[in-house]
Amino acid sequence: MLQTNREDSVKLGLIRICELYQKGYRFDGAPDIRRTVRGFLFSAQTELERWALKVIVEFKDPRDHEIVAGRLKSPPTDLETASWVIAAFMAVSTPDQISDAIRVGLIPKNELSLLALNFSESAGGGISTDFPKINIEKASEIELKWACICFGTERVKGDIFDPKFDQAGQLVALNGHDSSSVAQYSIYGMYRVPALGFKHLAFPAHAIAQKPVDVRRWSYRLFTKEKTVVIESQDFLSGVIRSETDGRAREGLALGLRHVWYDGLDVTMTDWYSRENDAKVRAAILEHMATNSHRSGSYMSVVLDAFDREPPGSLLQARILHAAGSTPAYRAIKEKEALSPRADDMFGWGNGNIFIGSVSVSNKQEISGSNIQIGANAVGGNAYAQKISQMLADQSFGENIERVRKIAAGQESPEAEAVVKAVADFDKEKSEANGRSLLEKAKTWAGVAALSGETAEYVKQLIDALSSLFS
């Protein structure tokens, strides 16, 4: 929750808001959240201030201009935080306001301002600037981290590096940077960019063990990005589980495995869970088990037992329920809760709120019934609304839709064109009708197209996910 005195919980809440906004969520309780977030702009904890600024960038609300402009005039002494103030200012300001700030020197004409302008995706994106491009050989650690973030979130307008450098190849090249922070951010960027995977990592898999912990953490996440890579490297997976000594790195691996499944993986994961003593890693393994509980009886029993052992309303219970989605584990938990109802229903469909990760989002609307705002469209508080809200909170669902769209766009057939149009309609409005339309178009296309390998698997995953919405 944001309204807590625990710094780690507040940070997690701010991170979740950023992630959800980047996936298309729009909270209809945003005014209340905005007030809470703005309060962290003057936090004594630097990390909280930075993440609050990042949330303001995602909100892009002009009503935040005055408070951010005040922060710009009295910037933090910490350079990295100050750069986030610039990004937040650009996100909530008009082109004229940005130009005026540059003219009077509140925004310096340097590389960080160029990166902040790119990341903010502001209305000032078209303003005339003469900000210098980044010279990889001379750039600071902060500048390079910013560049990785811009590439990872695909918020790069034109070239941000000096023309003498290969623009596309720099993200991978930075894997081997002397700064572990830069290396970590570059691998995070690769994880976010659809076209890059574990095979593009600038160092071999056997060298990961010698890297700093945060580099290992994101290297393992990158390893799990493609299921085929994990299947082909099961010895590597088992070796990491046995030999990785740092909980943060193991948590990265467990988080990445959440949506990975192949026959026999449950044996590896249940054994890992039984031996794991780090609470955060165990929670991440449980999310994997809950997500795949319909595929493994052992997963189902472990998940239900773990849920029952938790105090009612705990964060772990919320994570398990969210991960379980529309699986039998979710239904089993809700059936048990119906027999002994609680006032603090975690997903709050009875009291007008939805609990996502550590962020409680009010869903009061002028439309009758429970709603949560997704993209620019309200989805009603029925069974479909519950399922689609949970599904859209899952990054892999959106990534798979985009993969399928790109595959269909590359094929010349009426069925493929119908899929592309159905995806566009679903992106505009996550309604039940558009969901059913996309499902039917995908099924028709899969029935006539000669799909194979990963392409067939991506389409099958989309059909399975959409089918679960209406089961």
Please state, as a whole number, how many other Cβ atoms lie within 10 Å of the Cβ of residue 307: 21
Q: Does 365 score more than 50 pLDDT?
A: no
Across 53-67, 122-136, 375-389, least confident range: 375-389
CA 320, distance to chain mean position in Å, is 17
CA-to-CA dists, residue 231 to 67, 258, 262, 263, 297, angstroms: 50, 14, 7, 10, 21
Of 459, 471, 453, which is closest to residue 415 (Cα–Cα)?
459
Average pLDDT over residues 7-22: 82
Structure confidence at residue 375 as a pLDDT band (50, 70, 90): very low
Percent of the chain with pLDDT over 90: 46
Predicted confidence at residue 265, as pLDDT, reads 98
Of 318, 286, 282, which is closest to residue 299 (Cα–Cα)?
286
Across 138-147, 381-390, 438-447, least confident range: 381-390
Across 128-132, 137-141, 143-147, 271-275, least confident range: 128-132
Query: Three-state SS string across the chain, please?
Result: CCCCCCHHHHHHHHHHHHHHHHCCECCCCHHHHHHHHHHHHHCCCHHHHHHHHHHHHHHCCHHHHHHHHHHHHCCCCCHHHHHHHHHHHHHHCCHHHHHHHHHCCCCCCCHHHHHHHHHHCCHHHHCCCCCCCECCCCCCHHHHHHHHHHHHCCCCCCCCECCCCCCCCHHHHHHHCCCHHHHHHHHHHHHHCCCCCHHHCCCCHHHHHHCCHHHHHHHHHHHCCCHHHHHHCHHHHHHHHHHCCCHHHHHHHHHHHHHCCCCCHHHHHHHHHHHCCCHHHHHHHHHHHHHCCCCCHHHHHHHHHHHHHCCCCCHHHHHHHHHHCCCHHHHHHHHHHHHCCCCCCCCCCCCCEEEECCEEEECCCCCCCCEEEECCEEEECCHHHHHHHHHHCCHHHHHHHHHHHHHHHCCCCHHHHHHHHHHHHHHHCCCHHHHHHHHHHHHHHHHHCCCCHHHHHHHHHHHHHHHHHCC
Across 2-11, 142-151, 351-360, least confident range: 351-360
Percent of the chain with pLDDT over 70: 82
CA 334, distance to chain mean position in Å, is 26
Across 304-308, 360-364, 447-451, 462-466, least confident range: 360-364
- Our CA angle for 462, 393, 387, nearest 5°, is 65
Q: Does 381 score more than 90 pLDDT?
A: no
Cα–Cα distance for residue pair 69/73, rounded to 1 Å: 6
What's the CA dihedral at 11, 13, 16, 20 to 10 degrees? Answer: -140
Cα–Cα distance for residue pair 212/176, rounded to 1 Å: 11
For the full predicted model, state whether its pTM sits above 0.85. Answer: no
Of 167, 171, 232, which is closest to residue 205 (Cα–Cα)?
232
183, 145 in Cβ contact below 8 A?
no
Strand partners, 377: 374
Q: Does 159 score more than 80 pLDDT?
A: no
Q: Does 358 score more than 50 pLDDT?
A: no
Cα–Cα distance for residue pair 282/295, rounded to 1 Å: 19
Name the average pLDDT for the chain.
Answer: 82
Predicted confidence at residue 69, as pLDDT, reads 94
Structure confidence at residue 306 as a pLDDT band (50, 70, 90): very high
Q: What is the CA radius of gyration of the chain?
A: 23
> Whats the size of the chain, residue-wise?
471
Cα–Cα distance for residue pair 227/372, rounded to 1 Å: 32
Residues 400-428: tens digit of each pLDDT: 888 888 888 878 788 888 898 898 888 87
Predicted confidence at residue 348, as pLDDT, reads 31
Average pLDDT over residues 364-377: 28
Average pLDDT over residues 135-139: 86
Cα–Cα distance for residue pair 142/140, rounded to 1 Å: 5
Q: Does 262 score more than 90 pLDDT?
A: yes
Residues 171-202: tens digit of each pLDDT: 899 999 999 999 999 999 999 988 999 999 99
Q: Does 340 score more than 70 pLDDT?
A: no
Predicted confidence at residue 355, as pLDDT, reads 37
Q: Does 288 score more than 90 pLDDT?
A: yes
Strand partners, 379: 372
Q: Does 128 score more than 70 pLDDT?
A: no
Terminal C-alpha separation, the chain:
32
Predicted confidence at residue 250, as pLDDT, reads 98
Average pLDDT over residues 94-112: 93
Cα–Cα distance for residue pair 196/189, rounded to 1 Å: 9
Predicted confidence at residue 267, as pLDDT, reads 97
Structure-token pair, residue 459: 């389409």
Average pLDDT over residues 308-312: 92
Cα–Cα distance for residue pair 257/265, rounded to 1 Å: 10
